[in-house]
A and B are shown apart, each in its own frame.
Chain A
Amino acid sequence: MDDEADAAAVAFCRRLRPRLVGTLSLISGDPGTAEELSQEALARAWSNWSRLRELEEPAAAAWVFRTATNLASSWLRRLAAERRAVARLAGRSIGGARGEPDLADTLAVRRQVATLPRRQRTALVLRYYADLPVSQVAAVMGCSPGTVKSLTSKAVHALRLGMALGIGEEVRDGA
């Protein structure tokens, strides 16, 4: 890679990294893992820069988000397997927050986001935190845009019920 391409690739990675780390921290629930997976996804972007540089920046960013969410999915599967194994050995369930000192709201949001089903969590974070348009979230997740809408709607609803945050409004009618 020549110096000019290297500089462009590093600048792209630098711009994307805060949003990518934040996204993965909400999906994985673990800041350290988020930083590691982000670095891996960005390294893949750097190594594929000759292809990515041909794309518009939002499309290149979507490529990185897709790579990163795939890495996070693999990590979550491994983690779940490890937790099951550890729980079996310890004879008790494992869970709970890491107890990082923070504002109560922040911890509550993290906890609630972590309880969402993985697809809902990914759609919610990509849409509302990473600020990707619905069509790009759909491309990242490999589903239809309508499904993205559905997943984010359910996630917002679950968050509202879990936190009484007053996001939106709920009306119940009938029996």
Chain B
Amino acid sequence: MARDLAELLRQAAHVPAEPLDAGDLRRRGRRLRRRRRVVRGVALTVLLVMVPVGMAGIGYLRSREPGVADRPAVTVPPPPEAPPQRTANAIRPPTRAEGSDEVMPVVFLDGTSAEVVYPKALDLAGLRARPAGSAELAGCCARDFFVPPGGAAWFADAGERLARLSGAGGRQVTVWPAPESEGAGRYLVFQFGSWWVGVWDQAGGSAMTDQQLADWAAHLDGQQTSEGFLVLRPDGPLRLVGPGTAKAAPRLEFGAPDERMVALTLGPCPRASTTRSADGAQLLAETCRPEWAMSVEVHGDPDWVESVLDGLKIRGVRAPP
């Protein structure tokens, strides 16, 4: 008989015997506030000292340039930037018919390609595809790529842009605050064709430094294929996390996880298997075949999940060129 996982975890979790120590909470909270005030004060002092010194230095240098007094002192303010458009940040991949099936060529972040074959009625392409995966910066950290619905607008919703960085191939990379609901942190935001890709600087319990953010920006290049898929080409100290590792391997997600979703994740499959787990009224199944070189997760109402498991095939898997 299936046992309820949530109940098992509830039994296994530690329940605090003592009630919340509100006095200790306030003491720690006040200490944190004081520390923040001190840090802000130091930062402000540095700013107040450095800005006049810097301006005086610039003024001195300019005063030494010939003819500077004759130049018209007109500055043209940059045009106000329009708020970014909300985009799907997902594509409907092109397909072709093959009898009663539909064939959908797909390309993963690392350039691996394959063909997904399924009965036309399932219309997996109509669920729209979005890539996922991660990369690791040598001496720093691994981070997931985040491709949110809404595209650039998702990042801009959190506040004002913090910085622009020089990206690979002359690309502009921007830095945005993380949304309030996510706490502290910044997102490094890349645009590749119609794709908007974020890298969060806080995952794993530590924040990236400004230099590490600049390294990500400088070493992550990519492009959109003619079919619309995103392929990333990091270089130097930045490497894509490959298939079959504990970190997030290249992956394509179709649909939304709270509704119907099919996700293809590159990785070895030692033996053919299919597993099914209940998730409330929905079913989550994972299936793989050694010849697919990837696992397939299917989530949704049980009948639909079973239809996908029955009809889905993967073929023509090719490693990146």
Q: Which A residues have a C-beta under 8 Å from some C-beta of B? A: 6, 9-10, 13-14, 17-18, 21-23, 25-26, 31, 34-35, 38-40, 42-44, 46-47, 51, 54-55, 59-60, 62-63, 66-67, 69-74, 76-77, 103, 105-106, 109-110, 113, 117, 119, 124-125, 128-129, 131, 133-135, 139-150, 153-154, 156-157, 159-160, 165-175
Contacts and interface: CB of A to CB of B under 8 A. Distances in A.
B148 to A, nearest CB: 8
Interface string B98-111: 00000000000000
Interface SS, A side: helix
B231 interface: no
A47 B30 contact: yes
A153 B185 CA distance: 28
A110 B8 CA distance: 10
A170 B276 contact: yes
Given A43-B25, A172-B273, A139 B5 contact: no
Interface of B: 1-3, 5-6, 8-16, 19-22, 24-26, 28-33, 36, 130, 132, 143-144, 146-147, 179-183, 185, 200, 202-206, 246-248, 251, 253, 256-258, 261, 263, 265, 271-278, 284, 286, 289, 297, 299
Contact of B25 (A46, A55, A72, A113): A46
CB-based closest 3 A-B pairs: A73-B205, A174-B272, A22-B13
B9 A14 contact: no
5 contacts: A18-B16, A22-B15, A42-B25, A134-B257, A175-B272
Contact of A129 (B9, B146, B274): B9
A170 B80 CA distance: 57
A66 to B, nearest CB: 5
Contacts of A117: 246
Contact of B9 (A38, A39, A125, A147): A125
